[in-house]
Every structure is written in C-alpha cells, then in structure tokens.
Structure 1
Amino acid sequence: MALTATAPKTSNDTPTRLAIRRFMKSSSGKIGLVMAVFLILLALLAPVFKPYNPATDRDYINRLKPPSAERVFGTDNLGRDVFTRVIHGSRISLQVGLVAVALSLTIGTLLGLVAGYFRGGIEILIGWITDILLAFPSTLLAIAIVAVVGPSLTNAMVAVSITQIPVYIRLARSVVLSARELDYVQAATALGAPNRRILLRHLLPNALPPIIVQATLSIGTATLETAALGFLGLGAQPPAPEWGAMLSDAFRGGYALNSPWTMIFPGLFIMLTVLAFNLLGDGLRDALDPRALK
C-alpha cells in the first residue's frame, strides 16, 4: 500500500479572528455591546417609533403626572411626555459623543504621530500644548470654552472634543516612540519611503488597537461631559430634549422630591450610556491586547 504524504495542518486564526474570539469570551464586552447597540438603535428609530416636535409639545392639563400605562415615564412641569423626550434625547447625546470623539481622535492621533516620529522642536511644541490642556480638569476646561464662545450644542461638542485631544496625543506618541525603532520601519526609511507613507501605513496600524479602546471609553466620558454642560445651561438650549437640560429643569424647578421621575429617567439613561461604552471598552481592551493575541 502506497503511503501518501499529508500536508501539516495550518491554523487559519488571524489576529482579527483571535480578537473576535477573545471578545466573545468577555462577559462585560458582550453586555456593553448589547447595551450600546440598543441605545444606538433607540436613537436611530426614535423619530419613527415616537415622532416628536419639542417646540409644540405642551400639555398643561397633565403637568407632573406620575408614570402610568399611558405615560410610562410620567410627564414634566410642562406636561411633556418624559419617555418621548428621553428617547429623543439619546439622539442628541450620542451624536455629540460620537462626533466629539471622532474629532478629538483624528486631531490627537495625527499630532501624536507627528510628535513621536519627527521629535525635536515639533515634539516639544506639541508636548507643551498637551501639558497645558491637561493642566485643567476636562469638565472645567469645557465649561470655560463654552462660556467664552457662547452656549450651544455645536460649541459644547467642540469643547468636549478639545478636552479629549491630549489623551490621543499621548497615546499615539507613546506607540510611535516604540514602533519607530522596529526593523520594518527602519527598512522602509532606508528604502526612501516618504514620511507620510511611514506614518500612515506602518506606524498608524500599531496605534489603532489602543486608540479604538480609548475611543470607546471616551464616548461615555463625552456623553457625561455633554450632560454636565447641558445641566449648567451651556449645551443644548431649550426646548431641545437633552438629558442634562432635562435634569436641570427638574432640579431648578424643585421637582426632585415631589416628582422624582423627572430626574430619575434622564439620569438613568446617562448612567446606562456611560456604563454601556465602558463595558464595551473593557471587552475591546481584553480582545485587542497584543500579549493576548500571541
């Protein structure tokens, strides 16, 4: 009987598949993913599920009604349905969180790549900017920026993104400082590859895993800071159904004790949003850990 040689089995596990497999083993990551998807779908489908016009929604006869079968979250001091305002407020909060993180991630990552690769004077300048921004508490800095340029949702979004930029600068710079000495980067430099190609094709991929994790965590932080600005009257302006502004209306009107649902439900959704993206970030951190993918 002739013997036939068989090729050795090779593993088809790519780093992406390994990362997905490790993420699916993370209970916190899966819970965070489900919660985040639910909140995103709620925000996207709110106009279809519950159409709402905040400029005309008034029902003074049904002011401060407690939760019931008809109005599951009750009504506020103007007779507006709290449930409708909360689900439409998710559109504002998630929009601000996602856009603010996208802006800070893009600007901070590019500055961090440049500072870590070119070194010298440009690194010192970017380092000074980073240190100045980090010298202020993020929420206090956001309040100061909005107070100068004027209260609005757009200005709040820009202010929150500015406070997040130093995080990405330091993160990208630290990755580049270690990766720029690797053999393949040195080889690309020796072969005359342009700096832009080295930064975007060789160094940026090394920085992406920790940046993705940080971006997920930053969405929760941005949502919380946006709510804080809204509570102080520096974010979305009435009658926009923003969670922080809803808390402010209930608190300043003195309804916290007699009509607690006006504060409980907006605060609950702020907590759920922050928790969802924090859990998702923890799961991604475990999945994208380079030491775990070996």
Structure 2
Amino acid sequence: MSAAQTVPAPGAPAPGAAGEPSAAASVPPRLAGARRFVRAFLHRPSGVAGLSILLLFVVLALVAPAFIGPDQLDVTKVNGPLLTAPSGSYPLGTDQAGRSVLLLLIWGSRESLQIGVIATVLTVVFGSAVGIVAGHYGGLVGRALMHVTDWFIALPSLPLAISLAAVLGQGSTSITIAIAVTSWTATARLVRAQTLAVEARPFVERARALGAGNGQIMLRQVLPNVMPLILVSSTLTVASALLSEATLTFLGLGSPTDVTWGQMIHDAFFGGAFTADAWWYLLPPGLAILAVVLGFTLTGRAVEHVLDPRMENKR
C-alpha cells in the first residue's frame, strides 16, 4: 500500500455508504410533497394562467384602499361628468353618478371576492362535516343526513337563495348565507363518497383495532385523505359563489351602498346604460366576473389533475 492511500478509521462509515444521510433524506416528507406539487402545477400552463389571473385581482383588491378614498365612491360627493365615454381622465368612463368605472371595478373586486370566499368557506366546512359524519357512521345517522342533503338538492337553488336573501334582508351578509345554504350539498355528497372509500382501507381498520375513537378516525385518518378533494371542490365552489353573488345582487338583493360587480351591473341596467349605449359601464364588471370565474376554474382543474394523475387518462 502506497503512502498516498488512506485507510478509513475503524467503525467510520465509508464515503457514500448507507449510513451517511443524503440531502434528499433530510427533507421532511411534507416539504418534499409540497415541492412535487408545485413542480407539477407549474408544468400545467392553464393552471399557471388561472393562478396569475387570481393573483392580479387579489393584489388589486388588497391595494385598493391605498389609492381609492370614500369620497371617490360616494354619489353625494363626486362631481364627474355623467355617463361619459372612456378618456384620459377616466380610462373606463363614468357611471350615471359621475364616478369612475375603473375605480368602482377595482373596489368591487374587494366586496365580490370577500363574499365569494366567505361563502365558499362556509359551504365547504359544512358540506365536508356532513359528508364525513354521514360516511363514517352510516346507518340511521348517515341515511338521515343524506335524506336532508337530497331534500336540499331537490329544491331549486336560485329561488331558495332569493327567498333566503329576501327574508334576511338586503346586504352582503344575507347573500353570503343564502349562497352557503344552497351550495353545500355537492360538497357533502363528494366527501361522503370519498369517506366511504377511505374507511374501507386497512389503516383505518388498524386504527380501530388500536382503540381509536370515532373522532380520532374522522380527524386523523379520514380528513387528511379527503382534504385533496375538499381543496379541489373549494376552488370550483368559489367560481359558483361569485356567479351566485352577481345574480342575487343584480336582482336587487344587495345593499345599494355596497360596491360589487353584481351591484355595478344592477346600477348600469337600471341607470340608463342600455338606452345611453354606455357599453363602458356594462362590459367591465361582466368581464371581471368572467375572468375571475375562469381563473378559479383553470386553477381548480389543474390542482385536480396534479392530485389525481389518473385524470389524464380520463380525458
């Protein structure tokens, strides 16, 4: 043996041996899974486009109070020209009260997105709870919950939402509650079906054998496995909630003092925009609703394909 050669000390692991922790092994499993999800999502151009649209509107909604004051939205304090066409001073023209349509559009994103997100959270939380409980317990409890779900499905959602919003009174709160009450059934049925599939897996049986209670099984075994489905359902439910908010507000169930995209369409329709050919007042809120709904739909579909690669073979 030459002097240039070295002999490892006794008991020391050889270079590259299995005992030496690798860089990949040091990454927590959840972080590694998140990285794989991000990489797979970025490889879907439609999902990236949808997420970019949503980020644009979210940023506009967040920074709106920095450059839009209450005086610019108050019909009693503005003094701009009435229903004027787009110009340098007013890029999207003005409404029948002299307010800038561009400022109304940006501020309306705050109210519309807030109603859509809150209604979706209520819908997903309640629907997921009903679906998990019905799928876990089954029997009389499961059948009773599913009968209630089927009863809500049988009712026409739009007339029911209109009735609830009318009873609760005008405003964003009543519209949010009306949307949540009429939208949770689809989530409940999807989550129940997934819960039944998860409950049949061996690890749930092992948890029962080890003495896990019903609450532990639902929260620690079932919920993490149905969470991807809940996430996909949430992104698609927001789009539906935004359309429902615009519909209910257009029908006059929103507060006249609130600035939402649906309220803008309502004010334009009943404020003479059609007769005055004020297309600049009608098109922007409708296109904004279309863009956000498209963004949530593209993002939701991309997330669905990433979480369930088998969807590629079903197309």
Within 5 Å, give how 1:1-294 maps onto structure 2.
Answer: 6-7=16-17, 14-53=32-71, 54-56=73-75, 58-59=77-78, 62-235=81-254, 237-256=255-274, 258-289=277-308, 291=310
Q: Which amino acid in structure 2 is aligned with residue 15 of structure 1?
A: G
Q: Which amino acid in structure 2 is aligned with residue 18 of structure 1?
A: R
Checking the alignment, whether the CA contact within 8 Å between 2:80 and 2:99 is kept in structure 1 is no
Q: Distance in 2 between matches of 1:180 and 1:289?
A: 19
Checking the alignment, whether the CA contact within 8 Å between 1:105 and 1:165 is kept in structure 2 is yes
Displacement, 1:243? 1.0
Q: Distance in 1 between matches of 2:63 and 2:266?
A: 26
Q: Distance in 2 between matches of 1:114 and 1:275?
A: 32
Q: Distance in 2 between matches of 1:170 and 1:11?
A: 39
Q: Distance in 2 between matches of 1:92 and 1:101?
A: 14
Q: Distance in 2 between matches of 1:280 and 1:114?
A: 29
Q: After superposition, what is the alpha-carbon deviation per residue over 1:15-56, rounded to whole angstroms, capped at 9, x for unaligned?
A: 333222211111111011111111111111101032234335
Checking the alignment, whether the CA contact within 8 Å between 1:35 and 1:276 is kept in structure 2 is yes
Displacement, 1:246? 1.1
Q: Please say which of residues 29-38 and 137-146 is displaced more in the overlay.
A: 137-146
Q: Distance in 1 between matches of 2:80 and 2:126?
A: 50
Find the counterpart in structure 1 of residue 11 from structure 2: none
Displacement, 1:57? 5.3
Displacement, 1:99? 0.4
Checking the alignment, whether the CA contact within 8 Å between 1:76 and 1:262 is kept in structure 2 is yes
Q: After superposition, what is the alpha-carbon deviation per residue over 1:126-164, rounded to whole angstroms, capped at 9, x for unaligned?
A: 111111111134333211211232222100001111122
Displacement, 1:125? 1.2
Displacement, 1:245? 1.4
Checking the alignment, whether the CA contact within 8 Å between 1:33 and 1:280 is kept in structure 2 is yes
Q: Distance in 1 between matches of 2:159 and 2:111?
A: 21
Q: Distance in 2 between matches of 1:196 and 1:282?
A: 31
Checking the alignment, whether the CA contact within 8 Å between 1:29 and 1:282 is kept in structure 2 is yes
| Count of matched residue positions in the alignment of Structure 1 and Structure 2 | 292
Q: Distance in 2 between matches of 1:240 and 1:112?
A: 35
Secondary structure at the aligned position of 1:74 is classed as coil
Displacement, 1:208? 0.6
Q: Distance in 1 between matches of 2:107 and 2:46?
A: 27
Checking the alignment, whether the CA contact within 8 Å between 2:195 and 2:226 is kept in structure 1 is yes
* Structure 2 CA distance for partners of 1:219 and 1:36, relative to 1, 3 Å: same
Secondary structure at the aligned position of 1:39 is classed as helix
Displacement, 1:111? 1.0
Checking the alignment, whether the CA contact within 8 Å between 1:111 and 1:126 is kept in structure 2 is yes
Give the aligned CA root-mean-square deviation in angstroms: 2.2
Q: Distance in 2 between matches of 1:52 and 1:269?
A: 22
Q: Distance in 2 between matches of 1:179 and 1:10?
A: 33
Displacement, 1:233? 0.7
Among the aligned pairs, what percent are the same residue? 37
* Structure 2 CA distance for partners of 1:25 and 1:290, relative to 1, 3 Å: closer
* Structure 2 CA distance for partners of 1:7 and 1:57, relative to 1, 3 Å: farther
TM-score, length-scaled by structure 1: 0.92
Q: Which amino acid in structure 2 is aligned with residue 232 of structure 1?
A: L
Secondary structure at the aligned position of 1:62 is classed as coil
The structure, 1 or 2, with the larger RCO (C-alpha pairs under 8 Å, 6+ apart) is: 1
